[in-house]
Structure 1
Amino acid sequence: MDNRVTWQVEHYPTLPSTNDYCIEQARLKSKINLAVLTDSQTAPRGSRGRKWVEPTGNLALSFLYWPTFSVKKVGWVPFIASLALYDAITELCGDYPDLYIKWPNDLLFQNKKIAGILIESHVEYPDILEWLVIGIGLNICSAPVVEGREVACLRDFVHTNLPSSLLVSSKIRERLSYWIGCLDQGKELFIRETWLQRSLPMDTSLSVTSSKKIYTGIYKGINKEGFLLLQTETGLKHLSAGELFCLDQYGNK
Protein backbone atom coordinates (compact mmCIF):
# COMPACT_ATOMS: atom_id res chain seq x y z
CA MET A 1 0.00 0.00 0.00
CA ASP A 2 1.42 3.36 -1.07
CA ASN A 3 0.64 5.96 1.60
CA ARG A 4 3.12 8.58 0.48
CA VAL A 5 2.28 12.22 1.07
CA THR A 6 0.93 14.41 -1.71
CA TRP A 7 2.21 17.98 -1.52
CA GLN A 8 0.57 21.16 -2.75
CA VAL A 9 3.49 23.12 -4.19
CA GLU A 10 3.73 26.92 -3.96
CA HIS A 11 6.62 28.89 -5.48
CA TYR A 12 7.17 32.59 -4.78
CA PRO A 13 9.77 35.04 -6.10
CA THR A 14 10.32 36.30 -2.55
CA LEU A 15 9.08 35.68 0.99
CA PRO A 16 10.26 36.93 4.38
CA SER A 17 10.58 33.32 5.57
CA THR A 18 9.23 30.07 4.13
CA ASN A 19 8.90 28.64 7.65
CA ASP A 20 6.95 31.68 8.84
CA TYR A 21 4.66 31.41 5.82
CA CYS A 22 3.94 27.76 6.60
CA ILE A 23 3.30 28.52 10.28
CA GLU A 24 0.84 31.23 9.25
CA GLN A 25 -1.01 28.75 7.03
CA ALA A 26 -1.07 26.23 9.88
CA ARG A 27 -2.59 28.78 12.23
CA LEU A 28 -5.25 29.52 9.61
CA LYS A 29 -6.12 25.79 9.82
CA SER A 30 -5.35 25.24 6.15
CA LYS A 31 -5.40 21.44 6.32
CA ILE A 32 -3.20 20.97 3.26
CA ASN A 33 0.28 19.51 3.13
CA LEU A 34 2.30 22.35 1.62
CA ALA A 35 5.73 22.54 0.00
CA VAL A 36 6.74 26.21 -0.21
CA LEU A 37 9.73 27.33 -2.27
CA THR A 38 11.03 30.86 -2.73
CA ASP A 39 13.83 32.33 -4.81
CA SER A 40 14.72 34.79 -2.08
CA GLN A 41 14.00 35.15 1.65
CA THR A 42 14.19 38.62 3.17
CA ALA A 43 14.09 37.46 6.81
CA PRO A 44 15.30 33.84 6.94
CA ARG A 45 15.80 32.15 10.30
CA GLY A 46 18.25 29.53 11.47
CA SER A 47 18.20 27.20 14.45
CA ARG A 48 18.41 28.51 18.03
CA GLY A 49 17.16 31.94 16.89
CA ARG A 50 20.17 32.66 14.69
CA LYS A 51 19.92 34.93 11.69
CA TRP A 52 20.51 33.13 8.44
CA VAL A 53 22.15 34.72 5.41
CA GLU A 54 20.94 33.39 2.09
CA PRO A 55 22.75 34.22 -1.16
CA THR A 56 20.73 34.15 -4.39
CA GLY A 57 20.52 30.82 -6.19
CA ASN A 58 20.39 28.64 -3.11
CA LEU A 59 17.49 26.54 -1.84
CA ALA A 60 14.88 27.93 0.57
CA LEU A 61 12.16 25.32 1.04
CA SER A 62 9.66 24.60 3.80
CA PHE A 63 7.02 21.95 4.32
CA LEU A 64 3.80 22.19 6.30
CA TYR A 65 2.73 18.69 7.25
CA TRP A 66 -0.35 17.59 9.17
CA PRO A 67 0.96 14.43 10.84
CA THR A 68 -0.80 11.11 10.97
CA PHE A 69 1.74 9.79 13.49
CA SER A 70 1.73 10.50 17.24
CA VAL A 71 3.73 13.10 19.15
CA LYS A 72 5.90 10.24 20.48
CA LYS A 73 7.48 9.99 17.02
CA VAL A 74 8.30 13.67 16.57
CA GLY A 75 11.88 13.09 17.72
CA TRP A 76 12.52 11.19 14.49
CA VAL A 77 11.50 14.08 12.24
CA PRO A 78 15.03 15.64 12.14
CA PHE A 79 16.35 12.26 11.02
CA ILE A 80 13.86 11.68 8.21
CA ALA A 81 14.23 15.30 7.04
CA SER A 82 18.02 15.00 6.82
CA LEU A 83 17.70 11.63 5.07
CA ALA A 84 15.37 13.17 2.47
CA LEU A 85 17.87 15.96 1.82
CA TYR A 86 20.85 13.60 1.70
CA ASP A 87 18.98 11.28 -0.70
CA ALA A 88 18.05 14.20 -2.97
CA ILE A 89 21.63 15.45 -3.22
CA THR A 90 23.19 12.04 -3.88
CA GLU A 91 20.52 10.99 -6.38
CA LEU A 92 20.98 14.21 -8.35
CA CYS A 93 24.72 14.74 -7.93
CA GLY A 94 26.24 11.35 -7.15
CA ASP A 95 27.83 9.84 -4.06
CA TYR A 96 30.61 11.72 -2.29
CA PRO A 97 32.60 10.05 0.51
CA ASP A 98 33.03 13.33 2.40
CA LEU A 99 29.30 14.12 2.55
CA TYR A 100 27.81 13.40 5.99
CA ILE A 101 24.83 14.14 8.19
CA LYS A 102 25.82 15.77 11.46
CA TRP A 103 23.48 14.92 14.34
CA PRO A 104 20.66 15.44 14.14
CA ASN A 105 20.13 17.06 10.73
CA ASP A 106 22.89 19.33 9.35
CA LEU A 107 24.70 18.29 6.18
CA LEU A 108 28.48 18.60 6.01
CA PHE A 109 30.96 18.27 3.20
CA GLN A 110 34.55 17.85 4.44
CA ASN A 111 33.29 19.09 7.83
CA LYS A 112 31.91 22.27 6.25
CA LYS A 113 28.18 22.96 6.57
CA ILE A 114 26.28 22.98 3.29
CA ALA A 115 22.72 22.70 4.63
CA GLY A 116 20.62 23.13 7.72
CA ILE A 117 17.12 22.13 8.75
CA LEU A 118 14.80 24.02 11.09
CA ILE A 119 11.84 22.07 12.47
CA GLU A 120 8.93 23.71 14.27
CA SER A 121 5.76 22.12 15.58
CA HIS A 122 2.57 22.67 17.54
CA VAL A 123 1.22 20.25 20.13
CA GLU A 124 -2.38 20.56 21.31
CA TYR A 125 -2.86 19.81 25.00
CA PRO A 126 -2.11 17.27 26.24
CA ASP A 127 -0.28 15.29 23.56
CA ILE A 128 -1.76 15.76 20.08
CA LEU A 129 0.81 16.70 17.44
CA GLU A 130 -1.22 19.10 15.31
CA TRP A 131 1.27 20.28 12.66
CA LEU A 132 4.92 20.23 11.68
CA VAL A 133 6.95 22.73 9.68
CA ILE A 134 10.23 21.52 8.19
CA GLY A 135 12.46 24.23 6.76
CA ILE A 136 15.45 23.34 4.59
CA GLY A 137 18.22 25.68 3.52
CA LEU A 138 20.80 24.30 1.08
CA ASN A 139 23.81 26.14 -0.31
CA ILE A 140 23.74 25.27 -3.99
CA CYS A 141 25.59 28.03 -5.85
CA SER A 142 27.39 29.89 -3.08
CA ALA A 143 28.14 29.76 0.62
CA PRO A 144 27.42 32.65 2.99
CA VAL A 145 30.13 34.04 5.22
CA VAL A 146 29.33 32.95 8.77
CA GLU A 147 31.61 34.10 11.56
CA GLY A 148 33.22 31.19 13.38
CA ARG A 149 31.84 28.59 10.95
CA GLU A 150 33.20 26.77 7.94
CA VAL A 151 30.58 26.77 5.21
CA ALA A 152 30.51 25.20 1.75
CA CYS A 153 28.13 24.81 -1.20
CA LEU A 154 27.33 22.16 -3.79
CA ARG A 155 29.33 24.04 -6.42
CA ASP A 156 32.47 23.36 -4.38
CA PHE A 157 32.35 19.66 -5.22
CA VAL A 158 29.71 19.18 -7.93
CA HIS A 159 31.54 20.44 -11.00
CA THR A 160 29.10 19.28 -13.68
CA ASN A 161 25.31 19.29 -13.88
CA LEU A 162 24.77 21.47 -10.81
CA PRO A 163 21.06 21.02 -10.04
CA SER A 164 18.68 23.97 -9.80
CA SER A 165 16.72 24.74 -6.65
CA LEU A 166 13.55 23.63 -8.47
CA LEU A 167 15.02 20.22 -9.25
CA VAL A 168 16.39 19.75 -5.73
CA SER A 169 13.04 20.80 -4.28
CA SER A 170 11.19 18.24 -6.39
CA LYS A 171 13.52 15.43 -5.33
CA ILE A 172 13.31 16.38 -1.64
CA ARG A 173 9.50 16.29 -1.82
CA GLU A 174 9.67 12.79 -3.23
CA ARG A 175 12.13 11.52 -0.64
CA LEU A 176 10.47 13.24 2.33
CA SER A 177 7.18 11.65 1.36
CA TYR A 178 8.91 8.26 1.37
CA TRP A 179 10.53 8.74 4.79
CA ILE A 180 7.30 10.05 6.33
CA GLY A 181 5.70 6.84 5.09
CA CYS A 182 8.41 4.84 6.86
CA LEU A 183 7.75 6.68 10.11
CA ASP A 184 4.00 6.16 9.73
CA GLN A 185 4.62 2.43 9.33
CA GLY A 186 6.69 2.18 12.50
CA LYS A 187 10.04 1.67 10.77
CA GLU A 188 12.11 3.64 13.28
CA LEU A 189 14.78 0.93 13.38
CA PHE A 190 15.20 1.13 9.60
CA ILE A 191 15.33 4.95 9.80
CA ARG A 192 18.01 4.75 12.49
CA GLU A 193 20.12 2.21 10.59
CA THR A 194 19.94 4.19 7.34
CA TRP A 195 20.73 7.47 9.08
CA LEU A 196 23.78 5.93 10.78
CA GLN A 197 25.10 4.84 7.37
CA ARG A 198 25.01 8.48 6.26
CA SER A 199 26.16 10.14 9.47
CA LEU A 200 29.60 11.24 10.61
CA PRO A 201 32.22 8.47 10.73
CA MET A 202 32.13 6.55 13.98
CA ASP A 203 34.79 7.65 16.52
CA THR A 204 34.87 11.24 15.21
CA SER A 205 36.07 13.62 17.95
CA LEU A 206 33.29 15.98 19.00
CA SER A 207 32.49 18.91 21.23
CA VAL A 208 28.84 19.11 22.25
CA THR A 209 27.14 21.95 24.11
CA SER A 210 24.03 20.65 25.88
CA SER A 211 22.08 22.23 28.76
CA LYS A 212 24.80 24.89 29.09
CA LYS A 213 27.45 22.21 29.60
CA ILE A 214 30.25 21.38 27.17
CA TYR A 215 31.10 17.72 26.60
CA THR A 216 34.13 16.50 24.65
CA GLY A 217 34.34 12.93 23.49
CA ILE A 218 34.11 10.36 20.73
CA TYR A 219 31.05 9.89 18.53
CA LYS A 220 29.39 6.51 19.05
CA GLY A 221 26.25 6.95 16.96
CA ILE A 222 22.69 7.27 18.28
CA ASN A 223 20.55 5.06 20.49
CA LYS A 224 17.08 3.67 19.74
CA GLU A 225 15.49 6.98 20.77
CA GLY A 226 17.76 9.06 18.53
CA PHE A 227 19.88 10.41 21.40
CA LEU A 228 23.51 11.19 20.60
CA LEU A 229 25.98 8.72 22.10
CA LEU A 230 29.21 10.42 23.18
CA GLN A 231 32.03 8.50 24.85
CA THR A 232 33.68 10.86 27.33
CA GLU A 233 36.38 10.41 29.95
CA THR A 234 33.66 9.94 32.56
CA GLY A 235 31.56 7.47 30.59
CA LEU A 236 29.04 7.18 27.77
CA LYS A 237 26.69 10.18 27.58
CA HIS A 238 23.19 10.00 26.08
CA LEU A 239 22.34 13.53 24.86
CA SER A 240 18.83 14.39 23.69
CA ALA A 241 19.72 17.88 22.40
CA GLY A 242 22.75 20.02 21.87
CA GLU A 243 25.03 21.86 19.45
CA LEU A 244 27.74 19.70 17.97
CA PHE A 245 31.15 20.59 16.55
CA CYS A 246 33.70 18.28 14.95
CA LEU A 247 37.21 18.54 16.39
CA ASP A 248 40.52 18.14 14.55
CA GLN A 249 43.42 16.05 15.80
CA TYR A 250 44.49 18.93 18.05
CA GLY A 251 41.06 19.32 19.65
CA ASN A 252 40.16 22.46 17.71
CA LYS A 253 36.74 23.11 16.14
Structure 2
Amino acid sequence: MSAWPKGYGLRLLETVDSTLNEAARMAPGLTGPVWILAREQTAARGRRGRAWVMPRGNLAATLVMRMTEPPEVAALRSFVTALALFDACAAVSGRSEAFALKWPNDVLLNGGKLAGILLESAGTARAPGHLAIGIGVNLADAPPAELVEPGAVRPVSLLSETGTAITPDDFLPYLAAAYAVRDAQFTTYGFAPIRSAWLDRAARLGETITARTGAQSTTGRFETVDAQGNLVLVTPTGRTAIAAADVYF
Protein backbone atom coordinates (compact mmCIF):
# COMPACT_ATOMS: atom_id res chain seq x y z
CA MET A 1 0.00 0.00 0.00
CA SER A 2 1.20 3.51 -0.80
CA ALA A 3 2.18 5.72 2.12
CA TRP A 4 -0.18 8.55 3.06
CA PRO A 5 1.19 11.88 1.80
CA LYS A 6 2.49 14.40 4.32
CA GLY A 7 0.35 17.49 4.80
CA TYR A 8 -2.97 15.93 3.76
CA GLY A 9 -5.71 15.17 6.28
CA LEU A 10 -8.21 12.32 6.11
CA ARG A 11 -11.87 12.09 7.13
CA LEU A 12 -13.52 8.67 6.92
CA LEU A 13 -17.33 8.42 6.91
CA GLU A 14 -19.56 5.37 6.87
CA THR A 15 -22.50 7.23 5.28
CA VAL A 16 -22.95 10.77 3.99
CA ASP A 17 -25.29 12.58 1.60
CA SER A 18 -22.36 13.56 -0.61
CA THR A 19 -18.65 13.94 0.00
CA LEU A 20 -18.90 17.22 -1.93
CA ASN A 21 -21.53 18.44 0.53
CA GLU A 22 -19.32 17.36 3.41
CA ALA A 23 -16.45 19.32 1.86
CA ALA A 24 -18.58 22.48 1.87
CA ARG A 25 -19.48 21.91 5.52
CA MET A 26 -15.83 21.43 6.47
CA ALA A 27 -14.50 24.33 4.41
CA PRO A 28 -14.78 27.12 7.02
CA GLY A 29 -12.49 25.28 9.44
CA LEU A 30 -9.86 24.05 6.98
CA THR A 31 -6.21 24.47 7.91
CA GLY A 32 -4.91 22.30 5.07
CA PRO A 33 -6.12 19.95 2.32
CA VAL A 34 -8.29 17.05 3.51
CA TRP A 35 -9.42 13.88 1.76
CA ILE A 36 -12.97 12.79 2.57
CA LEU A 37 -13.89 9.14 1.96
CA ALA A 38 -17.41 7.76 2.34
CA ARG A 39 -18.35 4.11 2.14
CA GLU A 40 -21.89 5.10 1.16
CA GLN A 41 -23.40 8.24 -0.42
CA THR A 42 -27.15 8.84 -0.37
CA ALA A 43 -27.23 11.87 -2.72
CA ALA A 44 -24.18 11.56 -4.96
CA ARG A 45 -24.04 13.79 -8.03
CA GLY A 46 -22.06 14.18 -11.20
CA ARG A 47 -21.56 16.96 -13.74
CA ARG A 48 -24.48 19.28 -14.58
CA GLY A 49 -26.42 18.01 -11.56
CA ARG A 50 -26.74 14.47 -12.86
CA ALA A 51 -27.23 11.69 -10.32
CA TRP A 52 -24.16 9.52 -9.73
CA VAL A 53 -24.84 5.82 -9.11
CA MET A 54 -22.48 4.69 -6.34
CA PRO A 55 -22.73 1.00 -5.41
CA ARG A 56 -21.05 0.09 -2.13
CA GLY A 57 -17.48 -1.03 -2.77
CA ASN A 58 -16.78 1.78 -5.22
CA LEU A 59 -14.71 4.84 -4.35
CA ALA A 60 -16.53 8.03 -3.36
CA ALA A 61 -14.05 10.66 -2.26
CA THR A 62 -13.50 14.41 -2.28
CA LEU A 63 -10.33 16.41 -1.78
CA VAL A 64 -11.12 19.82 -0.26
CA MET A 65 -8.63 22.70 0.05
CA ARG A 66 -8.51 26.45 0.49
CA MET A 67 -8.51 28.48 -2.73
CA THR A 68 -5.14 30.20 -3.01
CA GLU A 69 -5.11 30.84 -6.76
CA PRO A 70 -7.39 32.37 -9.42
CA PRO A 71 -10.39 30.22 -10.45
CA GLU A 72 -9.00 29.63 -13.95
CA VAL A 73 -5.84 28.14 -12.40
CA ALA A 74 -7.72 26.10 -9.82
CA ALA A 75 -9.85 24.61 -12.63
CA LEU A 76 -6.72 23.04 -14.15
CA ARG A 77 -6.56 20.74 -11.13
CA SER A 78 -9.06 18.54 -12.94
CA PHE A 79 -6.13 17.54 -15.19
CA VAL A 80 -3.89 17.07 -12.14
CA THR A 81 -6.53 14.81 -10.60
CA ALA A 82 -7.06 12.82 -13.81
CA LEU A 83 -3.35 12.09 -14.02
CA ALA A 84 -3.29 11.04 -10.36
CA LEU A 85 -6.20 8.69 -10.98
CA PHE A 86 -4.41 7.23 -14.00
CA ASP A 87 -1.26 6.72 -11.90
CA ALA A 88 -3.17 5.10 -9.02
CA CYS A 89 -5.16 2.77 -11.29
CA ALA A 90 -2.01 1.71 -13.15
CA ALA A 91 -0.23 1.08 -9.85
CA VAL A 92 -2.92 -1.17 -8.35
CA SER A 93 -3.68 -3.07 -11.57
CA GLY A 94 -0.23 -3.18 -13.18
CA ARG A 95 -1.85 -2.37 -16.54
CA SER A 96 -1.17 1.22 -17.53
CA GLU A 97 -1.79 0.51 -21.21
CA ALA A 98 -5.47 -0.22 -20.52
CA PHE A 99 -6.25 3.28 -19.21
CA ALA A 100 -6.85 6.57 -21.03
CA LEU A 101 -8.04 10.08 -20.15
CA LYS A 102 -11.16 11.59 -21.70
CA TRP A 103 -11.57 15.36 -21.78
CA PRO A 104 -12.59 17.03 -19.61
CA ASN A 105 -12.73 14.79 -16.55
CA ASP A 106 -13.10 11.03 -17.10
CA VAL A 107 -10.77 8.06 -16.80
CA LEU A 108 -11.38 5.25 -19.27
CA LEU A 109 -10.51 1.57 -18.93
CA ASN A 110 -10.55 -0.57 -22.07
CA GLY A 111 -12.63 2.18 -23.66
CA GLY A 112 -15.28 2.26 -20.93
CA LYS A 113 -15.84 4.88 -18.24
CA LEU A 114 -14.14 3.90 -15.01
CA ALA A 115 -14.01 7.18 -13.10
CA GLY A 116 -15.31 10.73 -13.11
CA ILE A 117 -14.13 13.99 -11.57
CA LEU A 118 -16.24 16.98 -10.52
CA LEU A 119 -14.81 20.31 -9.33
CA GLU A 120 -16.84 22.70 -7.20
CA SER A 121 -15.68 25.99 -5.74
CA ALA A 122 -17.14 28.62 -3.43
CA GLY A 123 -16.12 31.96 -2.02
CA THR A 124 -16.25 35.70 -2.62
CA ALA A 125 -13.74 38.47 -3.21
CA ARG A 126 -13.85 39.28 0.50
CA ALA A 127 -13.94 35.76 1.94
CA PRO A 128 -11.42 33.07 0.99
CA GLY A 129 -13.11 30.24 -0.81
CA HIS A 130 -12.48 26.54 -1.15
CA LEU A 131 -12.03 24.04 -3.96
CA ALA A 132 -13.60 20.60 -3.73
CA ILE A 133 -12.52 17.86 -6.14
CA GLY A 134 -15.08 15.05 -6.14
CA ILE A 135 -13.97 11.66 -7.45
CA GLY A 136 -15.95 8.52 -8.16
CA VAL A 137 -14.27 5.28 -9.25
CA ASN A 138 -16.05 2.04 -10.18
CA LEU A 139 -13.74 -0.24 -8.25
CA ALA A 140 -16.10 -3.17 -7.66
CA ASP A 141 -19.18 -2.56 -9.78
CA ALA A 142 -20.43 -0.41 -12.66
CA PRO A 143 -23.95 1.00 -13.10
CA PRO A 144 -26.10 -0.67 -15.78
CA ALA A 145 -25.57 0.68 -19.28
CA GLU A 146 -29.26 1.65 -19.52
CA LEU A 147 -28.74 4.25 -16.78
CA VAL A 148 -26.33 6.32 -18.88
CA GLU A 149 -27.51 8.72 -21.58
CA PRO A 150 -27.57 7.60 -25.23
CA GLY A 151 -24.18 7.90 -26.89
CA ALA A 152 -22.29 8.06 -23.60
CA VAL A 153 -19.30 5.81 -22.92
CA ARG A 154 -20.30 2.49 -21.36
CA PRO A 155 -19.54 2.19 -17.63
CA VAL A 156 -17.00 -0.42 -16.50
CA SER A 157 -15.40 -1.46 -13.23
CA LEU A 158 -11.80 -2.11 -12.28
CA LEU A 159 -12.72 -5.58 -11.01
CA SER A 160 -14.59 -6.70 -14.11
CA GLU A 161 -12.04 -5.39 -16.62
CA THR A 162 -8.75 -6.25 -14.87
CA GLY A 163 -9.61 -8.73 -12.11
CA THR A 164 -8.13 -6.31 -9.56
CA ALA A 165 -10.05 -6.42 -6.28
CA ILE A 166 -9.35 -3.47 -3.99
CA THR A 167 -11.44 -1.67 -1.39
CA PRO A 168 -11.94 2.11 -1.36
CA ASP A 169 -10.01 2.27 1.94
CA ASP A 170 -7.02 0.60 0.29
CA PHE A 171 -7.28 2.47 -3.02
CA LEU A 172 -7.41 5.96 -1.53
CA PRO A 173 -3.78 6.01 -0.25
CA TYR A 174 -2.57 5.24 -3.77
CA LEU A 175 -4.69 8.07 -5.14
CA ALA A 176 -3.70 10.53 -2.41
CA ALA A 177 0.00 9.79 -2.88
CA ALA A 178 -0.26 10.11 -6.67
CA TYR A 179 -2.16 13.37 -6.35
CA ALA A 180 0.45 14.84 -3.99
CA VAL A 181 3.18 14.12 -6.56
CA ARG A 182 1.23 15.59 -9.49
CA ASP A 183 0.10 18.59 -7.44
CA ALA A 184 3.69 19.38 -6.44
CA GLN A 185 4.62 19.26 -10.13
CA PHE A 186 1.76 21.60 -11.00
CA THR A 187 2.57 24.04 -8.18
CA THR A 188 6.28 24.11 -9.03
CA TYR A 189 6.30 24.05 -12.83
CA GLY A 190 2.82 25.18 -13.85
CA PHE A 191 0.38 23.56 -16.25
CA ALA A 192 2.79 22.81 -19.12
CA PRO A 193 4.16 19.44 -17.86
CA ILE A 194 0.69 18.40 -16.63
CA ARG A 195 -0.77 19.23 -20.04
CA SER A 196 1.97 17.26 -21.81
CA ALA A 197 1.49 14.20 -19.59
CA TRP A 198 -2.29 14.40 -19.98
CA LEU A 199 -2.04 14.54 -23.78
CA ASP A 200 0.24 11.49 -23.75
CA ARG A 201 -2.66 9.58 -22.17
CA ALA A 202 -5.54 11.24 -24.04
CA ALA A 203 -8.29 9.12 -25.58
CA ARG A 204 -9.06 9.69 -29.28
CA LEU A 205 -6.36 12.32 -29.81
CA GLY A 206 -6.20 13.01 -33.55
CA GLU A 207 -9.60 11.44 -34.16
CA THR A 208 -13.01 12.94 -34.92
CA ILE A 209 -15.14 13.56 -31.84
CA THR A 210 -18.20 15.63 -30.93
CA ALA A 211 -18.44 18.19 -28.12
CA ARG A 212 -21.93 19.13 -26.94
CA THR A 213 -23.00 22.03 -24.76
CA GLY A 214 -26.76 22.15 -24.34
CA ALA A 215 -28.29 22.21 -27.80
CA GLN A 216 -25.01 23.11 -29.53
CA SER A 217 -22.74 20.43 -31.01
CA THR A 218 -19.29 20.81 -32.52
CA THR A 219 -17.68 17.95 -34.44
CA GLY A 220 -14.05 17.97 -35.48
CA ARG A 221 -10.62 16.42 -35.17
CA PHE A 222 -9.31 16.42 -31.61
CA GLU A 223 -6.10 18.37 -32.13
CA THR A 224 -4.97 19.21 -28.59
CA VAL A 225 -5.78 20.75 -25.22
CA ASP A 226 -4.50 24.31 -25.06
CA ALA A 227 -2.65 26.14 -22.27
CA GLN A 228 -5.96 27.11 -20.65
CA GLY A 229 -7.28 23.54 -20.63
CA ASN A 230 -9.68 24.11 -23.53
CA LEU A 231 -10.48 21.33 -25.96
CA VAL A 232 -9.26 22.29 -29.43
CA LEU A 233 -11.08 20.81 -32.43
CA VAL A 234 -10.26 21.30 -36.09
CA THR A 235 -13.58 21.73 -37.90
CA PRO A 236 -14.47 22.54 -41.53
CA THR A 237 -14.62 26.21 -40.52
CA GLY A 238 -11.29 26.25 -38.67
CA ARG A 239 -9.86 25.61 -35.20
CA THR A 240 -12.31 25.90 -32.30
CA ALA A 241 -11.41 26.10 -28.60
CA ILE A 242 -14.11 24.77 -26.26
CA ALA A 243 -14.00 25.59 -22.55
CA ALA A 244 -16.74 23.25 -21.31
CA ALA A 245 -18.74 20.48 -22.97
CA ASP A 246 -19.61 16.79 -22.92
CA VAL A 247 -17.54 14.78 -25.38
CA TYR A 248 -18.96 11.93 -27.45
CA PHE A 249 -17.02 9.43 -29.56
Whether TM-score is above 0.5 comes out as: yes
Find the counterpart in structure 1 of residue 221 from structure 2: 218
What residue is the counterpart of 2:199 in the other structure? 196
Other-structure match for 1:44 = 44
**Number of the residue aligned with 1:101:** 101
Q: How many residues in Structure 1 have an aligned counterpart in Structure 2?
A: 240
Asked whether the 8 Å contact 1:58–1:142 carries over to 2, the reply is yes
Quote the residue 2:175 is aligned against: 172
How many Å apart are 1:72 and its aligned residue?
4.2
Query: 1:78 is paired with a residue of what secondary structure?
Result: helix
2:233 maps to what in 1? 230
- Aligned partner of 1:118 in structure 2 is 118
- 1:136 is aligned to 2:135: yes
1:11-44 CA-partner distances (Å, limit 9, x unpaired): 1111110110011111x33333211111111110
Q: Which moved more, 1:93-102 or 1:219-228?
A: 93-102
Q: Which moved more, 1:45-54 or 1:90-99?
A: 90-99
User: CA deviation digits over 1:35-89, x for unaligned, max 9?
Assistant: 1111111110111100111111100011111244443412311100111111110
Inter-partner Cα distance in structure 1 for 2:240 and 2:160 = 35
The one-letter code matched in structure 1 to 2:125 is: Y
* Amino acid corresponding to residue 15 of structure 2 in structure 1: T
**Post-superposition offset of 1:204:** 2.4
Q: CA RMSD in A?
A: 1.9
Which residue in 2 is equivalent to 1:9?
A: 10
- Letter of the 1:157 counterpart: E
Displacement of 1:96 after TM fit? Answer: 4.0
Q: What CA distance in whole angstroms lies between the structure 2 residues aligned with 1:48 and 1:200?
A: 22
> 1:68-126, CA deviations, whole angstroms, 9 ceiling, x for partnerless residues?
44434123111001111111100111224342110122011233211101110124227
Q: Is the 8 A contact 2:20 2:134 kept in 1?
A: yes
Find the residue that maps to 1:183 and give its secondary structure: helix
Displacement of 1:187 after TM fit? 2.7
What's the TM-score, normalizing by structure 2?
Answer: 0.89
> CA shift at 1:147, angstroms?
3.2
CA distance in 1, matches of 2:135, 2:75: 17
Task: Using the TM superposition, give the Cα deviation of residue 242 of structure 1 relative to its aligned residue in structure 2, in angstroms.
Answer: 0.7
Contact 1:62 1:136 in 2 (8 A): yes
- Whole-Å separation in 1 of the counterparts to 2:120 and 2:42: 19
Which residue of the partner structure matches residue 208 of structure 1?
211
Question: Match of 1:151?
Answer: 155
Of the three residues 229, 233, 240, the one matched with 2:243 is 240
1:188-246 superposed Cα distances (whole Å, 9 cap, x missing partner) = 11111011111113222211013641011111121122110111121111111111111
